[in-house]
Amino acid sequence: MNYVPNTDADRAAMLRVVGAASVDELFEDIPRDLHHPSLNLPQELSELALKRTMSSLAGLNAGADRFAVFLGAGAYNHFVPAVVHHVTGRSEFYTAYTPYQAEASQGTLQTIFEYQTAVCQLTGMDVANASMYDGATAVAEAAIMAQHATQRHKIVVSPTVHPDYVSVIETYTSELGSIVVSSWSENWARTGKTDLSEVQALVDDSAACLVVQHPNFFGCLEDVELLADAVHKAGALLIVIVDPISLGMLRAPGSYGADVAVGEGQSLGNPMSFGGPYLGLFATEEKLLRLMPGRIVGQAADREGRRGFVLTLQAREQHIRREKATSNICTNEALDALAALVYLSAMGPRGLRQVAETCVRKAHYAADRIADVPGYELAFPSPFFKEFVIRCPRPPAEINAQLLKQRIIGGYDLSGAFPALADHMLLCVTEMNTRDEIDRLVDILASGG
Q: Helix, strand or coil for residue 162?
A: coil
274: Cβ contacts below 8 Å, ≥ 6 apart: none
Domain boundary among 343, 371, 395: 343
pLDDT, position 332: 79
Same domain, 219 and 191: yes
Same domain, 296 and 416: no
pLDDT tens digits along 360-398: 999 999 999 999 999 999 999 999 999 999 999 999 999
For 354-411, the DSSP string reads HHHHHHHHHHHHHHHHHHTSTT-EES--S-BSSEEEEE-SS-HHHHHHHHHHTTEE--
**Cα 282 from Cα 188, distance rounded (Å):** 27
- Phi, psi for 339 (deg, rounded to 5): -60, -40
Please choose, from the candidates 378, 399, 376, the residue with its C-alpha nearest in 3D space to the C-alpha of residue 389: 378
Q: pLDDT tier at 226 (50, 70, 90 boundaries)? A: very high
DSSP 33: G
Total domains, the chain: 2
CA 104 to chain centre: 30
pLDDT over 90, % of the chain = 80
Q: What is the mean pLDDT of residues 164-192?
A: 93
Output the domain CATH number for residue 322: 3.40.640.10
Residue 43 within a domain? no
**Cα 429 from Cα 5, distance rounded (Å):** 45
Q: What is the mean pLDDT of residues 174-181?
A: 90
Cβ burial, residue 213 (10 Å; 0-12/13-18/19+): buried
Residue 124 within a domain? yes
- Phi, psi for 262 (deg, rounded to 5): -130, 170
pLDDT, position 271: 95
Same domain, 77 and 90: no
pLDDT at residue 3 is higher than 70:
no
Q: Residue 69 half-sphere exposure, CB side, CA atoms within 13 Å?
A: 19
Residue 41 within a domain? no
Q: Taking a C-beta distance cutoff of 8 angstroms, is the pair 341, 64 a contact?
A: no
pLDDT at residue 1 is higher than 60:
no
**Cα 31 from Cα 46, distance rounded (Å):** 31
pLDDT tens digits along 245-266: 999 999 999 999 999 999 999 9
pLDDT tens digits along 302-346: 889 999 999 888 767 777 777 777 777 777 789 999 999 999 999
Same domain, 74 and 203: no
Same domain, 288 and 363: no
pLDDT, position 368: 98
Of 60-64, 215-219, 393-397, give the lowest mean pLDDT range. Answer: 60-64
Cβ burial, residue 135 (10 Å; 0-12/13-18/19+): buried
pLDDT at residue 404 is higher than 90:
yes
**Cα 269 from Cα 279, distance rounded (Å):** 11
Q: What is the mean pLDDT of residues 297-304?
A: 90
pLDDT at residue 234 is higher than 80:
yes
Same domain, 75 and 212: no
Same domain, 162 and 241: yes
Whole-model pTM: value is: 0.89
Same domain, 249 and 366: no
Residue 35 within a domain? no
Q: Which residue has the higher pLDDT, 226 or 96?
A: 226
pLDDT tens digits along 114-130: 999 999 999 999 999 99
Q: pLDDT tier at 103 (50, 70, 90 boundaries)? A: confident
Domain boundary among 343, 368, 386: 343
Same domain, 432 and 313: no
199: Cβ contacts below 8 Å, ≥ 6 apart: 156, 158, 210, 227, 230, 231
Q: Which residue has the higher pLDDT, 4 or 446?
A: 446
DSSP 222: P
C-alpha torsion sign, points 91, 93, 99, 105: positive
pLDDT tens digits along 414-437: 999 999 999 999 999 999 999 999
Q: Which residue has the higher pLDDT, 274 or 410?
A: 410
Same domain, 221 and 308: yes
pLDDT mean across residues, the chain: 93
Q: pLDDT tier at 37 (50, 70, 90 boundaries)? A: confident
340: Cβ contacts below 8 Å, ≥ 6 apart: 115, 118, 244, 265, 268, 269, 270, 279
Residue 144 within a domain? yes
Same domain, 77 and 88: no
Q: Domain span at residue 228?
A: 82-343
**Cα 340 from Cα 115, distance rounded (Å):** 8
Output the domain CATH number for residue 405: 3.90.1150.10
Residue 49 within a domain? no
pLDDT, position 415: 94
Q: pLDDT tier at 6 (50, 70, 90 boundaries)? A: confident
Same domain, 270 and 386: no
pLDDT, position 315: 66
pLDDT, position 165: 97
Domain boundary among 343, 366, 394: 343
Q: Name the most confidently modeled range: 94-103, 270-279, 368-377.
A: 368-377
Please choose, from the candidates 73, 144, 185, the residue with its C-alpha nearest in 3D space to the C-alpha of residue 427: 73
